[in-house]
Structure 1
């Protein structure tokens, strides 16, 4: 009897293990008119792979069908791409959430009718999206992607409110990771992090982004780092702040149209307040092949302030400076007052400080 009990136990446990190992997500492409054989990729996009236990998954497409192995330990955020379009599209912007209960996925190759059957994606498509677009008729946004891109500051504030009401949400945590990856350190991100539940804050995903935020070199309220860059003569030089009451650090590059469009206004503010009150330091992230263009741009645009070169953006990438221009307003002791202050807000701030 004991022998038979052992056999039965072995068969049951083997069946459970095999069931878990063989869990599959069934996939399908729709509105697809390319080659019959293809490969679909679910990737981490631009997010750090340290947040994933599976940064990449792929399925071979035959007759518009594919399968993925479902072995997720916790919900994962992916972006999708196809082998057949790799020379045209790096990955698509729509977010896809997979978890251990995800059963199927439909990829609409030309429209917005992609669909995943699973609790995490369901939260994203209904509860999460509706929370942000509840006033879509007034704000004119039809998709969360556009709202997140065009109204980032508002999105961050709304994300904080969503977390307060849904402190166990992995969807919200992944969106925080995405925003942090795009913008680097902001005070609001620290606040959002600490509004998650005690339970979620014990999870490895929360711990990893929390550690990243703690280790950031550039923080509002902190001291701007003592970088070493190249000067205009391409010699190594430690960054030295001018002896002004306020300093604007401006990250840019010579082909950045929005960066160049800010210079006339910055030149006007520099002239208005004088070097003892307000000064500018520009740091270019130009590539090696564009260094001469950077040097010529400084002369052509008559940018009469200190310039440094972070060649190929090596240091900028370390500090998640991914959008340009990116600015930091400092006090004369190097303390960071504001990140990405607009020119209009900068002028209002200086007006209040100096009375004109």
Structure 2
């Protein structure tokens, strides 16, 4: 009797073990694509330390593939085919995997229509995207993917509201991480991070993102960081702020069309308020190959404020400045007042603080 019970227990244990092993495999298939290829999944801009598996790939055979599911917490990935290299950088779809994911179906011709099962992917499709469509008017996955990398305050406001209503959402947490690591620190982002439920705050991604927010190099109230730059004469120096009551740091580069288009307005503001204590410093991220163009733009447009070069944006990337032009507003002591001020808001500050001085 004891022997039979032991055999029954062992049989059940083996069956359960096999069942758990089956759950660790994600079955994948393609619609309208039968070629042999390689499917790549990767992070985009978020540090590797946030991930259990940062980059991985799988072979596609006759439109079928498998993935190992050993995710301890939900993960966000972007995707690409090996055959896409040289044609595009990224496919327009956010893929959320968690330990409930068992199936993924990729639509080759309409990639953004691809589907993934699992709790997190379901939330993204049935809750997050529907709310984004309702509140932001964003109906297209391609547009939503591009929106992640734009300075779009409405998206951040939406993310705050969505997180407040869905404080256990890993979808919201990953998108917040994506925004932070591309656009840098914001007070609104910090407030959004604080909204998450304790169950989410115990996750590695929340802990890492919280640490990065707390230690952000560009943060309102902080001193402007010490960086190394190059002068117009080609000398390497430690960056020193000019004397002024309000100081604008302008991150730009010579072949950035929006940067060039903003210069006439900046010149007008500078001419008006420089006598009252307004200063501008330009920091370009031009590579060595366009250094002469950088100098030519300064001369041709007769830009009279100080200019420095951060070759290829080595220092700028550390500050998480990835969109241009990007303006930081500092006070007379070099403390950051605004981490991302637009020209309209800049003019407001100048009129309020420097008019008549």
Query: Does the pair score TM above 0.5?
Result: yes
Please name the residue that 1:41 is paired with. 40
Q: Is the 8 A contact 2:249 2:328 kept in 1?
A: yes
Please name the residue that 2:29 is paired with. 28
For the residues of structure 2 that align with 1:151 and 1:231, how far apart are their CA atoms? 29
TM-score (norm 1): 0.92
**Does 2:143 match 1:142?**
no
What is the Cα deviation at residue 51 of structure 1? 0.9
Distance 1:229 1:2, change over 3 A: farther
What is the Cα deviation at residue 110 of structure 1? 2.2
Distance 1:3 1:233, change over 3 A: farther
For the residues of structure 1 that align with 2:291 and 2:334, how far apart are their CA atoms? 27
For the residues of structure 2 that align with 1:288 and 1:130, how far apart are their CA atoms? 46
Q: Which moved more, 1:268-277 or 1:91-100?
A: 268-277
TM-score (norm 2): 0.92
Please name the residue that 2:336 is paired with. 336
**Residues 209-246 of structure 1, C-alpha deviation per residue, up to 9 Å, x if partnerless?**
11111121110121111222111112122222222111
For the residues of structure 1 that align with 2:67 and 2:216, how far apart are their CA atoms? 36
What is the Cα deviation at residue 96 of structure 1? 0.7
For the residues of structure 1 that align with 2:17 and 2:327, how far apart are their CA atoms? 54
Distance 1:3 1:284, change over 3 A: farther
Aligned length: 351
Please name the residue that 1:120 is paired with. 120
For the residues of structure 2 that align with 1:298 and 1:259, how far apart are their CA atoms? 12
Gaps of 5+ in 1: none
Please name the residue that 2:348 is paired with. 348
Pairs within 5 Å for 1:77-92: 77-92=76-91
Gaps of 5+ in 2: none
Q: Is the 8 A contact 1:38 1:60 kept in 2?
A: yes
For the residues of structure 2 that align with 1:134 and 1:315, how far apart are their CA atoms? 39
Output the aligned Cα RMSD.
2.0
Distance 1:87 1:8, change over 3 A: farther
Please name the residue that 1:277 is paired with. 277
SS at match of 1:234: coil
